[in-house]
Amino acid sequence: MNKNAGISTLKGIGEKTEKLFLKLGVATVDDLLHYYPRTYEIFGPPVPVSEVQEGHICTVSGAVFGRIQVSGTKNMQVTTLYLKDLTGTLKVIWFRMPFLRNTLGRSGPVILRGRVVRKRDGLVMEHPQIYDPAARYNEKLHSMQPVYGLTAGLTNNAIIKAVRQALESNSIPEDFLPEELETAYDFPPYEAALYEMHFPHFKETFIEARRRFVFEEFLTFVLSLRYVKESGERMKNHFTMKQQPAIDTFLQSLPYELTAAQMRVWNEILKEMTGDYVMSRLVQGDVGSGKTIVAFLGLLLSGLNGYQGALMAPTEVLARQHYEKISGMLEHYGLPLKAELLTGSMTAKQKREAYVRIESGSSSIIIGTHALIQEKVNYRNLALVITDEQHRFGVRQREQLAGKGLTPHILVMSATPIPRTLGIILYGDLDISVINELPMNRLPIKNCVVDTGYRPKAYAFIRQQTELGRQCYVICPMVEESENLDAENVTDYSQMLQEILGPSIRVGYLHGKMKEKDEIMTAFGRNEIQVLVSTTVVEVGIDVPNATVIMIENAERFGLAQLHQLRGRVGRGKYQSYCIFMTASRSKETKERLEILNHSNDGFYIANEDLRLRGPGDLFGIRQSGVLDFKIADVFQDAALLQEANAAAERLLLEDPDLSQEQHRKLKDHLQKKLKDLMLETTL
């Protein structure tokens, strides 16, 4: 079977299943082989009911005690049973599985495996896997079972069957890693490593296989950046710009002074935009460091020189917030420029009218989402594009914009604190500016790390803050067994919290699969929702200065950098803000990690500490929320491998700059394909 054959060539995958795989980005057998598990279940012996721990996936064995009950609404039926062993009784619930009442526990003991959470009536195991009869569990005991990212309608077992078939079909792709590197780093052979990634024999063999593929991912990325930088380096600046006195007047009129760091970065941008070559710059600044005002100065410089500037945001809600803020400043300070909003949800008529104003040049500052680079948008003279790190532009995307005019300046804004040593490698195609001071008027966030016994006090504090007119977030982590349980986890929690807080406080919920995400975020922004229970989907794309509390459940399940990003949802206004890290873990390592956040609001310090503390023990948890879309690599956990891959790339290019030698041919072919896939088309 050809590795590039469509996924439907595998037995059992018809048209309907093929469409589900396409939703996961899996179109070919090759895609499937590189669709790695997002985590692994390690099947240990069952534990006594008295030893189950909140926040952990546990396996218990026992008998069904009493009657199995089904309650709830037609759309959300909850099946409840009690499992009893010699040490105690555990409440267990399933969502939308009423048939279990007639099938479970009729033939003796059962084994259940699932996450244990705390409800008001004590510890509860939610939606566990069932091993009935119990002997079925022995087949998996001491094994590592893959858990894949899913989409509605596609089960983990369906993916496992498809992957096994692909691995056994002689369609393993060619190994592109040069033999010299495979030997130098003592990597396992390609085919064996691929099998271990999906179906590990042992934890040690999995770690070695993962090490190989992380190195490959980093090597491909670093080489891609090198070629991209060379292809676009020192492009001539076609926009004649001069310093504008109106910007100095604007800065003097502001009710606050820019920090020294903001002024330093603004001067770097000003120098490049008025210089001889096109700017490609990353502005890295901690949450709340004032990157937006620096971006606005760049847009002003373009507009006041007679050109256009575009600001691309990751969500419509944030695009609208930027538009309202920028429009307000232009009007308030009497600046002679017009802002334009362009998003996908606008009506056809609204878009047509916006296109006319953009093409005529009457709108100087254009703010929006990906709609900004679509075919129908024609700019009069686009000189600057500012993007969020979620929208890193590739060469082809830059060409799309260049096709609408000349090659614009590019400014990438990043709130993710990355140690400088890694930043230089990761952003190899961009110059880096760092805003490392917070504005004087920002009150530092007050933090506390607490165990689950503090929860009633936390709820009382949330009620107190809402009574003062403030708003709060509660973050629930992803449910690991199935992506489809995100919704139940968040909706169930929000219903429970609504009952506790009472009808005078409106509790809303948000998760990644909701179609009405923007409507919920907008309602929260308007204080129509006082408490928002959410997954990490709020990590980017929402700015609510009135929000003063964020409580993060199971904080031990996130990387420090992601926790810091989540904490950045509060402390954005004039009110004192608070972050409550709730953890069920009693381990010394967890306490040490969370104490770093407890005692510091400095994202760059936290990033370095995260880098120091994270290790192989984190391989099976939720992946660190990354700046870049790596399949398995993590820039914090795998920092040493990133640096090794960077050094290997330098050696390769020194020896063979065009990768034209025979032993590098497969690597070159792989890179060319990758560059195309990443929208970074260029010639090697």
- From CA 658, how far away is CA 664, in angstroms rounded? 9
Q: Which of 421, 418, 386 is nearest to 401 (CA)?
A: 386
Tokens of residue 253, six digits:
């009129």
Task: Collect all residues with Cβ–Cβ distance below 8 Å to 329 and sequence separation of at least 6.
Answer: 296, 335
Look at the alpha carbons of 91, 95, 96, 97 in this order and tell me if their dihedral is positive or negative: negative
DSSP state of 257: P
Query: Strand, coil or helix: what is 123?
Result: strand
- From CA 680, how far away is CA 684, in angstroms rounded? 11
Residue-by-residue DSSP string for 560-586: HHHHHHHHTTSS-SSS--EEEEEE---
Q: Is the pTM of this model over 0.85?
A: no
Give pLDDT < 70 ranges for the chain.
1-3, 105-107, 170-171, 173, 228, 230-234, 389-405, 478-488, 540-541, 614-629, 676-684
- Give me the count of residues in the chain: 684
Helix orientation angle between 316-332 and 291-304, rounded to the nearest 10 degrees: 60
Range 490-524 burial, b when 16+ CB lie within 10 A, else e: bebbbeebbeebeeebbbbbbbeebeebbebbbbb
Backbone angles phi, psi at 150, to 5 degrees: -115, 170
For residues 214 and 641, the answer to whether their CB atoms sit within 8 Å is yes
- How many other CB atoms are there within 10 angstroms of residue 241's CB atom? 20
Query: Strand, coil or helix: what is 302?
Result: helix
Q: Return the bridge partners of 503, or none.
A: none
Pairing relation of β-strands 39-42 and 144-147? antiparallel
- From CA 497, how far away is CA 564, in angstroms rounded? 24
Tokens of residue 17, six digits:
């299943």
Tokens of residue 229, six digits:
């930088």
Q: Which of 336, 392, 391 is nearest to 365 (CA)?
A: 336
Backbone angles phi, psi at 289, to 5 degrees: -85, -5
Q: Which of 497, 436, 505 is nearest to 471 (CA)?
A: 505
Tokens of residue 612, six digits:
């120091």
Burial class (CB in 10 A: 0-12, 13-18, 19+), 25: exposed
Pairing relation of β-strands 471-475 and 547-552? parallel
Tokens of residue 422, six digits:
């890694």
DSSP state of 6: B
pLDDT of residue 1: 56
